Amino acid sequence: MKAPIRIYFDYNATAPLRPVAREEMLSASELIGNPSSVHAEGRAARASVEEARRAVAALVGGETRNVTFLASGTEAANLALTPRIEAPGGEAPLARLLVSAGEHLCVLRGHRFAAANVETVPLDREGRIDLKALEAAVARPGRPMLALQAANNETGVVQPLGEAAAIVHDAGGIVVCDAVQLAGRAPCDLKALSADFLFLSAHKLGGPKGAGALIAASQSLRIAEPLLRGGGQERGLRAGTENVAAIAGFGAAARAAQSEIEVEAPRLAGLRDALAGNVLAAAPDAVIFGAGAERLPNTLCVAVPGVGAETLLIGLDLAAFAVSSGSACSSGKVARSHVLAAMGVEPELAGGAVRFSLGWASSADEIACFGEAFGAILAPMRRGRSAA
Is 188 labeled as catalytic in the residue annotation? no
In terms of domains, do 225 and 115 share one? Answer: yes
In terms of domains, do 133 and 29 share one? Answer: yes
Last residue of a domain, one of 255, 278, 305: 255
CB 210 within 8 A of CB 222: no
Last residue of a domain, one of 201, 225, 255: 255
CA 100, 73, 190 angle in degrees (round to 5)?
A: 70
The average confidence (pLDDT) of the chain is: 93
Please identify which of the residues 177, 301, 329, 369 carries the catalytic annotation: 329
CB 299 within 8 A of CB 324: no
Which is nearest to 204 in space by CA: 238, 172, 161, 249?
249
DSSP structural state of residue 92:
P
* Burial class, 263, CB count within 10 angstroms (exposed 0-12 / middle 13-18 / buried 19+): exposed
In terms of domains, do 204 and 328 share one? Answer: no
In terms of domains, do 12 and 49 share one? Answer: no
User: According to the model, what pLDDT value does residue 335 have?
Assistant: 66
In terms of domains, do 214 and 326 share one? Answer: no
Phi, psi (deg, nearest 5) at residue 375: -60, -45
In terms of domains, do 364 and 301 share one? Answer: yes
Strands (DSSP E) found in the chain? 7-8, 67-70, 85-86, 96-100, 118-121, 144-149, 174-178, 197-201, 212-216, 222-223, 287-288, 299-303, 321-322, 354-357
- CATH number for the domain including 347? 3.90.1150.10
Residue 267 lies in a domain: yes
Residue 323 lies in a domain: yes
User: According to the model, what pLDDT value does residue 26 have?
Assistant: 98
Residue 310 lies in a domain: yes
In terms of domains, do 187 and 298 share one? Answer: no
In terms of domains, do 248 and 371 share one? Answer: no
Last residue of a domain, one of 255, 283, 310: 255
In terms of domains, do 165 and 88 share one? Answer: yes
Query: For the stretch 197-218, what's the b/e string if a residue is b when 16 or more beta carbons lie within 10 angstroms of its beta carbon?
Result: bbbbbbbbbbbbebbbbbbbbe
What is the extent of the structural domain holding 146?
Answer: 19-255
User: According to the model, what pLDDT value does residue 1 have?
Assistant: 46
Q: Enumerate residues 6+ apart whose C-beta is below 8 A from 139.
A: 171
Residue 356 lies in a domain: yes
User: According to the model, what pLDDT value does residue 114 have?
Assistant: 94
In terms of domains, do 291 and 319 share one? Answer: yes
- CATH number for the domain including 36? 3.40.640.10
Mean pLDDT in consecutive groups of 10 residues from the start of the chain, 388 residues: 78 98 97 96 97 98 97 96 82 88 93 94 98 97 96 97 97 96 95 96 97 96 90 91 97 97 96 98 97 97 96 96 74 73 96 97 97 95 63
In terms of domains, do 101 and 23 share one? Answer: yes
Residue 2 lies in a domain: no
User: According to the model, what pLDDT value does residue 331 have?
Assistant: 43
Residue 1 lies in a domain: no
In terms of domains, do 288 and 317 share one? Answer: yes
Residue 86 lies in a domain: yes
Indicate the number of domains in the chain.
2
